[in-house]
Amino acid sequence: MVKKQTKLMVRLGLLGKDIAYSFSRNYFKVKFEAEQIACTYENFDLEDITMFPKLLQNNPDISGLNVTIPYKEQIIPFLDKLDKKAKKIGAVNTITINSKGQLKGYNTDCYGFKKAIKPFLKKHHKKALILGTGGASKAIAYTLKKLNITFDYVSRTPKKNVKFTYDDLTIEDINNYKIIINCSPVGTYPEVNSCPDIPYDGITNQHILYDLIYNPEQTKFLRLGKIQGAQISNGLKMLELQAEKAWKIWNSTL
């Protein structure tokens, strides 16, 4: 364990774009202070993923990173190794950097989501709609498979392996999928009056609406679901769980 007796501060951080709002930096700052852990955690805000090698070159003392939008998939070519789960998912949100400078990618989003959604699941929750097709959606899809829940994607434009565009969705479609998960950034602060364009009239008290967004605490997507009687949850619990899992991975390598 990395404890306060350690003289050298271990440097960790978050890789992303426009991440001043980030949950992770404050979460780990509070954790490290409360538990007297000799680590720092900072944001590394990159305009483009091609700047990543320069970041490492300028900061050779970084020992681990989290990865967020929009780089969960784009980071993979820059890594030396992938954990089995991350390889299957095709997205990375945690990186370890060993003493030789080798980078290994992991995905802890799948762990966080599974633990966070399980308490809501009932027997009739057999089918899910995933709104969005980015890196976060890949971990959600992987987890749904593990939970034996079938799913389909919704995207703004037609794509391979995407069943619906937002224009296609009907009230009947919404009624057929009793779990709806927003993996898109639509509705994130400050765009709090935005929400995914789906037929909310198809939502019932048999539905779960899960939003990976945590700021605001209750997005318009969740508010509209709640009005229809659905169970709702934001992404905060998932974030906390995936963060602790990431810490466990770093701690085993530091």
Q: Which residues are catalytic?
A: 72
List the one residue out of 116, 126, 82, 118 whose CA is nearest residue 102: 82
- Count of other CB atoms within 10 angstroms of residue 58: 9
DSSP letter, residue 205: T
Residue 60 C-alpha from the chain's centroid: 26
Residues 228 and 171: their CA atoms lie apart, in Å, by 13
Strand order in the sheet with 39-45: 39-45, 10-16, 62-67, 94-97, 103-106, 81-82
Burial bucket for residue 4 (CB in 10 Å: 0-12, 13-18, 19+): exposed
